[in-house]
């Protein structure tokens, strides 16, 4: 795209934002192509229109300082978006990315209520991982704010933290602008402007060598003038004969050699530091006194190498810095990096920055350097796993092959690589280390690390193969055996079905028991805790719900008592899951909340989206579809940003099921297609959930009874041996029987019924399991009396969607019109309160056939507008928002998640046709002055929800 066209697009985005339309644009192009100038012109135009501008530019070493790129930008506005207390609070939340997102969303949203904002981030190819993660989350979170995001950088390499973020933003609607070379006309115009005359044929021929890159073109013309080879006659610039000008790197080297020794040393130090630097830092790196550096600074600025940026110096262009650095001899680079590491450590710079310099200047076997690298990696692995992986890989490279700590260092590196999505590099390192392992302990440790990395990526078959290979070795220490058995147990629960193993979870339970036994023998609480949680999960998947709770409680107790690594296994996550399935919903929610706070405190960010995913499933069980959807969407965003494919797949599958309930089949199809693509790429976990969603979508799209199911659907083949989906939601048993009967598949219906009966036998105290067992038999027999009894049993269980389905089934077979009408009315209300549009529409249609007309429930009617469409939950949020509370404060006041509040507010904006809080407050004032009250359907829904 040409610069003028790009400038028009950017200017249009700025104008749109002033009217309340949030925008995100990504500008890419090679170094020197003119991105920074385009951004500067856009920023000037925005400021001229009264828009606030927050500008930041990443440097090569910004990737070592979590969030520095974004925080610097937000601190540069006038007034700044973030003040010093905000920065302190943001730093305090560094282990919890989503809480940082919450704070920044709140601050930016509040800022843009008074004026629109342009956020400019340049050179994002060097942005740190935390900035990439937050930008990916902030752009959609601020879709209703008056903000324009303008991101610019070179084409993003595979290893860039921003690549996944930018790809996700573009998929979600951000516009991508690729700047190409200057046109021939633009090259001629720039040449004429630079030389002050129209270029002749010889000048044009040489200018073509810059390949349309404006920076390199200007440097070429500058070199020609310096050589005295440009002559202007009759308004035409001609070039005298002679050798071709040097390439850019050679030009920089020639000019650099003409500097004084102190000025050369200054630029050498700046090239190594790779970011804006202070004079005293360069003096410390080179050993040149500061007073000599002062004169050298003036010389380097005068010669066009450096420019002043407040109290700091930076290169006039990164291409100049790269050329200076590339011209340094390797021994000189290593020596300067080593000195830079010492200077920056003394300056209190981030540990990862000084450690990176130390690593480049290190010698093999330097114990002090190895400690520095390991400590620095440990300090940032939770927020910058990619940087931690680089440090740990360098640690392994510098370590002695016989170092007893080497296997553990390799495992740490593999974990960081997998966490940052660099599985190819992880496997390459793993192959080399496995081949070099010199004893059983080292081999078992590395195999465990490789298998754990593969499990993180969801590659179940490879995990099981590697673990079994490691356990087959003789001489493996007891602790390593315990860790391997625990990993095997968890892997079997997650993906044993996809690997063709353990449909009844007996092997998973046995592996967990062996981990507990060996962990106890090794006196290692972490191994015992992990084994117990695996056994709890296996019991849950097999339908032994009470046993699952007991085992999870034991694991949690041991972790609390021992502390340390045992808590990293997040036992409260599994306790909350077991409590949720046992229908102790309040206790489950408390366990998830406490587990989330513990994960945040321990700096285990990967656990947070998984906990939120469990909470989304809990809301679905409780019939709170809006909250479940908001929580599942937040889980998916976090999983994608953090690079955890199994969690992303589970979130998409759950969101697809929620979309079916809302009768949004287009979204369901898209989500399941993405989940299947992940499965096809090797992410093989929770295949049963994917098979279930496929069956439910097929039924929802069916045009006739025969289309409702197919005997080839994979779900039927795993029933009744594999019953985990029914453990989470016992109401699925009757649903599957109903689908199979509708499609004329009696054998499949009996398989689903047998699964429900098995769950009832294994969990005799679970009210839903007993209700489901009676329900499937009633559906198979068609007995009206049994279906009435089923309704009574479901009333004693806290699962409203299953109750609504039982009400439908009973209504269909009753001969009494009044009884049928009452059953359909109740089903309609329950579905509407839950937000289950599809179910409410079925009930509404049956009511109409009985001569009763009902409007779709307000909470389920996506087309409703005006104050009458606002639900009680939404109205509570509106009242607090218009009282001046932020979304976070509203969430705390109402005991909701931030994403649920965001979802409610988006719905309200759509229903009332507003785009800002200011407009909402104005409408609310008018609404209250007119004395409006919620309609009868809303009031009725509130009463049902509160009962």
Q: How far is CA 800 from the centre of its chain?
A: 31
Q: What is the DSSP string of 777-788?
A: HHHHHT-HHHHH
Q: What is the DSSP string of 857-926?
A: PGGG-TT--SGGG--HHHHHHHHHHHTT--HHHHHHHHT--HHHHHHHHHHHHHHHT--SHHHHHHHHHH
Structure tokens at 544: 């032994």
> Is residue 107 within 8 Å of 85, Cβ to Cβ?
no
Pairing mode, strands 198-199 and 236-239: parallel
CA distance 87 to 600: 18
Helix axes 917-929, 872-882, angle to 10 degrees: 110
> Is residue 626 within 8 Å of 660, Cβ to Cβ?
no
CA distance 458 to 686: 10
> Is residue 28 within 8 Å of 178, Cβ to Cβ?
yes
Q: Is it true that the peptide bond before 597 is cis, omega within 30 degrees of 0?
A: no
> Is residue 58 within 8 Å of 127, Cβ to Cβ?
yes
CA distance 56 to 67: 12
Task: Identify the pLDDT of residue 778.
Answer: 97
Averages of pLDDT over runs of 10 residues in the chain (947 residues) are: 78 79 87 86 89 89 81 87 87 72 86 90 88 86 87 78 82 85 85 86 79 81 80 84 67 76 91 90 90 88 86 86 86 90 86 84 80 84 79 88 86 84 84 84 87 87 90 87 93 76 82 96 92 95 95 93 75 92 93 82 74 92 91 84 84 96 93 92 87 94 86 87 91 96 94 96 96 97 94 94 96 92 94 93 92 67 59 78 80 67 77 75 73 38 30
pTM for the full predicted model: 0.73
Residues 6+ apart with CB under 8 A from 522: 477, 478, 479, 482
Strands (E) across 206-333 are located at: 230-233, 236-239, 306-309, 312-315
CA distance 542 to 14: 57
CA distance 343 to 348: 9
Task: Identify the pLDDT of residue 1.
Answer: 67
Residues forming a β-bridge with 41:
none
- Reported for 273-276, long-range contacts at CB under 8 A and 24+ positions apart, including other chains, are 273/61, 273/340, 274/59, 274/60, 274/61, 274/321, 274/325, 275/59, 275/60, 275/61, 275/62, 275/314, 276/59, 276/309, 276/312, 276/313, 276/314
The HSE-up count of residue 173 (CA atoms within 13 Å, CB side) is 8
CA distance 894 to 877: 8
> Is residue 34 within 8 Å of 40, Cβ to Cβ?
no
CA distance 711 to 920: 52
Dihedral sign (CA 540, 544, 545, 550): negative
Structure tokens at 681: 């790429």
Residues forming a β-bridge with 119:
54, 149
């Amino acid at each position: 795209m040409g610069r003028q066209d790009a400038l028009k697009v950017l200017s249009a985005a700025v104008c749109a934002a002033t009217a309340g339309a949030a925008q995100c644009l990504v500008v890419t192009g090679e170094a020197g192509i003119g991105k920074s100038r385009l951004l500067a012109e856009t920023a000037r135009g925005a400021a001229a229109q009264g828009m606030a501008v927050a500008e930041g530019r990443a440097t090569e070493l910004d990737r070592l300082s979590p969030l520095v790129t974004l925080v610097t930008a937000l601190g540069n506005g006038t007034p700044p978006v973030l003040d010093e207390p905000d920065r302190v609070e943001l730093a305090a939340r560094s282990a919890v990315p989503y809480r940082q997102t919450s704070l920044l969303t709140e601050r930016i949203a509040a800022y843009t209520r008074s004026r629109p904002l342009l956020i400019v981030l340049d050179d994002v190819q060097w942005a740190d991982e935390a900035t990439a993660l937050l930008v990916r989350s902030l752009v959609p979170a601020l879709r209703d704010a008056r903000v324009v995001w303008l991101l610019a950088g070179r084409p993003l390499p595979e290893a860039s933290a921003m690549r996944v973020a930018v790809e996700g933003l573009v998929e979600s609607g951000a516009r991508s602008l690729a700047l190409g070379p200057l046109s021939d006309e633009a090259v001629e115009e720039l040449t004429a402007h630079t030389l002050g005359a129209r270029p002749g044929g010889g000048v044009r021929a040489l200018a073509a060598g810059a390949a349309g890159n404006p920076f390199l073109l200007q440097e070429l013309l500058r070199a020609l003038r310096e050589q005295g080879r440009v002559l202007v006659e009759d308004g035409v610039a001609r070039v005298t004969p002679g050798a071709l000008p040097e390439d850019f790197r050679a030009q920089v080297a020639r000019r650099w050699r003409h500097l004084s020794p102190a000025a050369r040393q200054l630029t050498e130090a700046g090239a190594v530091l790779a970011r804006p630097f202070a004079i005293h830092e360069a003096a410390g790196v080179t050993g040149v006194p500061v007073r000599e550096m002062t004169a050298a600074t003036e010389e380097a600025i005068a010669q066009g190498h450096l420019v002043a940026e407040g109290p700091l110096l930076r290169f006039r262009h990164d291409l100049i810095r790269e050329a200076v650095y590339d011209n340094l001899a390797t021994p000189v680079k290593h020596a300067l990096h080593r000195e830079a590491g010492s200077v920056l450590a003394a300056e209190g710079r981030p540990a990862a920055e000084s450690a990176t310099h130390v690593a480049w200047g290190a010698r093999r076997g330097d114990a002090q350097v190895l400690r520095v690298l390991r400590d620095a990696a440990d300090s940032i692995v939770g927020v910058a796993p990619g940087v931690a992986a680089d440090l740990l890989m360098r640690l392994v490279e510098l370590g002695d092959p016989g170092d007893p700590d080497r296997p553990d260092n390799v495992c740490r590196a593999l974990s960081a690589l997998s966490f940052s999505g660099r599985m190819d590099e992880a496997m390459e390192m793993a192959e080399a280390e496995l081949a070099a392992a010199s004893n059983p302990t080292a081999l078992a440790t590395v195999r465990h690390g490789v298998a754990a990395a593969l499990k993180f990526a969801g590659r179940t078959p490879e995990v099981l193969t590697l673990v079994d290979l490691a356990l087959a070795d003789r001489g493996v220490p007891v602790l390593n055996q315990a860790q391997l058995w625990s990993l095997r147990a968890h892997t079997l629960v997650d993906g044993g079905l996809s690997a063709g193993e353990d449909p009844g979870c007996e092997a998973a339970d046995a592996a967990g028991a062996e981990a507990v036994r060996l962990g106890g023998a090794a006196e290692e609480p972490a191994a015992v805790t992990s084994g117990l949680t695996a056994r709890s999960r296996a019991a849950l998947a097999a339908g032994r719900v009470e046993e699952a709770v007991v085992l999870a409680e034991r694991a949690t107790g041991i972790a609390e008592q021992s502390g340390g690594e045992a808590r990293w296994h997040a036992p409260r996550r599994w306790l909350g899951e077991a409590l949720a399935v046992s229908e102790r919903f309040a206790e489950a929610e408390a366990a998830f909340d406490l587990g989330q706070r513990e994960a945040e405190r321990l700096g285990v960010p990967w656990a947070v989206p998984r906990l939120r995913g469990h909470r989304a499933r809990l809301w679905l069980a409780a019939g709170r579809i809006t909250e479940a959807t908001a929580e599942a969407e937040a889980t998916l965003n976090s999983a994608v940003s953090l690079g955890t494919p199994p969690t992303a797949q589970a979130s998409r599958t759950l969101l697809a099921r929620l979309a079916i309930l809302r009768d949004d089949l287009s979204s369901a199809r898209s989500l399941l297609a993405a989940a299947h693509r992940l499965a096809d790429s090797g992410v093989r976990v929770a295949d049963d959930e994917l098979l279930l969603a496929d069956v439910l979508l097929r039924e929802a799209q069916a045009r006739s009874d025969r289309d409702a199911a197919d005997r080839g659907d994979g779900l039927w083949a795993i029933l009744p041996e594999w019953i985990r989906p029914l453990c989470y939601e016992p109401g699925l048993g009757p649903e599957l029987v109903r689908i199979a009967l509708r499609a004329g598949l009696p054998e499949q219906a009996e398989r689903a019924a047998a699964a429900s009966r098995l769950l009832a036998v294994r969990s005799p105290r679970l009210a839903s399991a007993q209700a489901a067992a009676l329900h499937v038999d009633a559906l198979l027999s068609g007995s009206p009396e049994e279906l009435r009894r089923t309704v009574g049993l479901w009333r004693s269980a806290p699962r409203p969607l299953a109750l609504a389905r039982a009400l439908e089934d009973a209504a269909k077979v009753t001969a009494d019109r009044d009884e049928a009408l009452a059953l359909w009315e109740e089903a309609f209300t329950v579905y509407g309160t839950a937000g289950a549009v599809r179910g409410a529409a079925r009930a509404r249609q049956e009511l109409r056939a009985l001569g009763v007309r009902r409007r779709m429930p307000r909470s389920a009617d996506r087309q409703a507008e005006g104050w009458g469409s606002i639900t009680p939950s939404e109205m509570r949020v509106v009242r607090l928002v218009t009282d001046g509370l932020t979304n976070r404060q509203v969430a705390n006041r109402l005991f909701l998640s931030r994403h649920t509040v965001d979802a409610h507010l988006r719905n309200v904006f759509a229903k009332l046709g507003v785009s800002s809080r200011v407009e909402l407050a104005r409408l609310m004032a008018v609404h209250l002055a007119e004395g409006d009250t919620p309609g009868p359907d809303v009031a009725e829904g509130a009463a049902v929800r509160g009962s």
